[in-house]
Structure 1
Amino acid sequence: MTILISGANGKVGTALTAQLKSRKLAYIALDHAQLDITNSTAIKQRLREYRPSIIINTAAFTHVDLAEQQQEKAFETNERGAELLAQTAASQQIPIIHLSTDYVFSGDKPLAESYVEGDAAEPASIYGKSKLAGEQAVRNANAHHIIIRTAWLFDEHSDNFAKKLITAAKQQLDLPSPTLRIAANQYGCPTDTSDLASAIVHLLQTYASKTTLPWGTYHYAGEPAISRLEWAQEILATAQTHGLITHQPILGPTTDSLYIGRAPRPVNSALNCTKIQQLLGIKPSQWRNRMSRLIQTMNHYENN
């Protein structure tokens, strides 16, 4: 089986290629320069050239705030690009795994509840709307598809909330009353990117052995769900335990409405992962363990 990955230099693409390489699985990893998914001619050429058994689309316009100003570009990549890739794959009877986001939901559910795959998708942001449009395009274009919605990705290598928070905390520590403002009106599921990559590899291995999958839409994210403010508190406590910071700044709760020009975020975007566990045997990411590993890695690099 040969696996083709689009958007291979992105966060998920990088984690996925690393795992495929370590497991000695055959893959072709193409970045934007090698495969522009909005170019139908380029897609046809690459599929003829490599003849993949399955495609994983990790290419996307992911800048949530910038999408509000660059709506056409967001939809061109997230909807039209996904559609072209899925259509061309279908014409050659190639299945596709496509990544989506928790931002397809409005976030209006009570905090005690989480979103299941069949819940109505009503995104508030342009980014969410473009990703939802991409989901619908993939469903319509290729019957043999898996759509994976994920959330709040972090890892040891790329820029993410945990790293930004620790950097900001360090910059504040010499002040008389170090304070960081953190959104208290966001509730979701931190997800380790390498765990998401492992879940995709599990799908690939299942497909290789059975030549089919239970096609459809799935949620894959971390557990437990937590507010961004509470997540920040845990990150800083762990950072202090591992010696990355000497003491913790005060965390002041705030809301997205105070950030002028920022795209709206769903208040509650917690994803229910029961379906992927029951049908595919894939367990949610345990983000506390992974976050501790990330901070230990940061500490190692700073002290060596």
Structure 2
Amino acid sequence: MRITVIGSQGQLGCDLMSTLSSDRHQLTGLTHQQITIEDADSVESALTESQPELIINTAAYNKVDQAESTPEVAFATNALGPRNLALYCQKHKIRLVHISTDYVFGFDSTRKSAYRETDLPGPISVYGQSKLAGEYFVRAICAQHFVIRTCGLYGTAGKSGNGNFVETMLRLGQERDELSIINDQYCTPTSTLDLSAAIKNLIQTDRLGLYHVTNEGQTTWFEFAQTIFDFAGLTVKMNPILTEQYNAPAERPRFSVLDCAQFKKVTGFSLPHWKEALQTYLES
């Protein structure tokens, strides 16, 4: 299959290129320098050249706090960009895999059970709103779509790129003796290596639609950080704090754990527990 990965040098894009190459697909990786998804002409030009049968879009504006003051930038990349890709895919009758986020949820501050695909979204940040708009464009325009919501991504490309939570904690754990980490936001950190394997399994099916895909289990950012330090053998004094004490510009969901039962039912594939995935990442 001819597959084009947009955002091929990002954390997920890098792992996708590696994972899918083992299946003898004809792969093309496009970076931001080669395609600007906000520009319909750029989309047409770049994709006409690679002639894909399937496109995987990992490009996104992920600066959650900055999006609050620059919503036009977030919506251009996260909403209008996917719209351009969906229009292209529908025109050429090809499949589109679009990556979304757990941040489409959060309005229900009392939530304690994992979100299913059928649950009503309720984003509470500009970033979340822009990603939900992108989802709606893809699902409304492109008949042959996989929309995948995931959470807390980290991958090996983050070691040399813009970083990720794991790399940030490892750096801060070596620089500081004491850290304060939020302990009232529940999620599931997800390895891009595992997510790539999940996408590889999903695109082999004809079961198009919306899917939740993360590693197993749930945790808070505080527990995640503590586990990183434990696995890495670092001793750091940890102070659990509330979201209000962090005082970030953008609101985050207090609970955004995703129920992945539908993905497992369709593919027969499940991702490892988040602790196992973290250990594998650190050992790599």
Bin of the TM-score, shorter chain as denominator length: over 0.9
1:162 maps to amino acid: V
Which of 205, 224, 232 is the equivalent residue of 2:217? 224
**Contact 2:9 2:157 (8 Å CA) reproduced:** no
Confirm whether residue 166 of structure 1 aligns to residue 159 of structure 2.
no
SS at match of 1:62: coil
CA distance in 2, matches of 1:169, 1:44: 45
1:230 maps to amino acid: E
CA offset at residue 261 of structure 1? Answer: 4.3
CA distance in 1, matches of 2:253, 2:244: 12
CA offset at residue 105 of structure 1? Answer: 0.2
Q: Deviations over 1:86-126 (max 9, x none)?
A: 11110010110100000000163656411111111110010
CA offset at residue 293 of structure 1? Answer: 2.4
* 2:207 counterpart residue number: 214
* 1:96 counterpart residue number: 96
CA distance in 2, matches of 1:153, 1:276: 18
CA offset at residue 274 of structure 1? Answer: 0.2
CA offset at residue 37 of structure 1? Answer: 0.7
- Using the size of structure 1 for normalisation, the TM-score is 0.88
CA distance in 2, matches of 1:296, 1:40: 42
**Contact 2:182 2:246 (8 Å CA) reproduced:** no
* Bigger mean CA deviation after superposition, 227-236 or 123-132: 227-236
CA distance in 2, matches of 1:22, 1:279: 22
CA offset at residue 145 of structure 1? Answer: 0.5
CA offset at residue 29 of structure 1? Answer: 0.6
Confirm whether residue 251 of structure 1 aligns to residue 241 of structure 2.
no
Q: Deviations over 1:202-259 (max 9, x none)?
A: 223x15xxxxx2111000001111111122222111111xxxx3xx222111122223
**Contact 1:191 1:285 (8 Å CA) reproduced:** no
Larger Rg over CA atoms: 1
* 2:266 counterpart residue number: 279
* 2:140 counterpart residue number: 140
**Contact 1:12 1:58 (8 Å CA) reproduced:** yes
2:179 maps to amino acid: L
CA distance in 1, matches of 2:149, 2:81: 17
**Contact 1:256 1:262 (8 Å CA) reproduced:** no
SS at match of 1:195: helix
1:281 maps to amino acid: G
CA distance in 2, matches of 1:90, 1:156: 33
CA offset at residue 270 of structure 1? Answer: 0.3
Confirm whether residue 193 of structure 1 aligns to residue 186 of structure 2.
no
Pick closer, same or farther for the CA change 1:270–1:261 going to 2, 3 Å.
closer
**Contact 2:109 2:253 (8 Å CA) reproduced:** no
* 1:175 counterpart residue number: none
- What 5-or-longer segments of structure 1 have no aligned partner? 173-177, 208-212, 298-304
CA offset at residue 284 of structure 1? Answer: 2.7
Which of 238, 258, 275 is the equivalent residue of 2:231? 238
* 2:54 counterpart residue number: 54
2:99 maps to amino acid: L
SS at match of 1:73: helix
CA distance in 2, matches of 1:260, 1:228: 15
CA distance in 1, matches of 2:93, 2:273: 35
- What 5-or-longer segments of structure 2 have no aligned partner? none
CA distance in 2, matches of 1:147, 1:285: 21
* 1:300 counterpart residue number: none
Aligned length: 280
CA offset at residue 51 of structure 1? Answer: 1.7
CA offset at residue 150 of structure 1? Answer: 0.3
**Contact 2:14 2:157 (8 Å CA) reproduced:** no
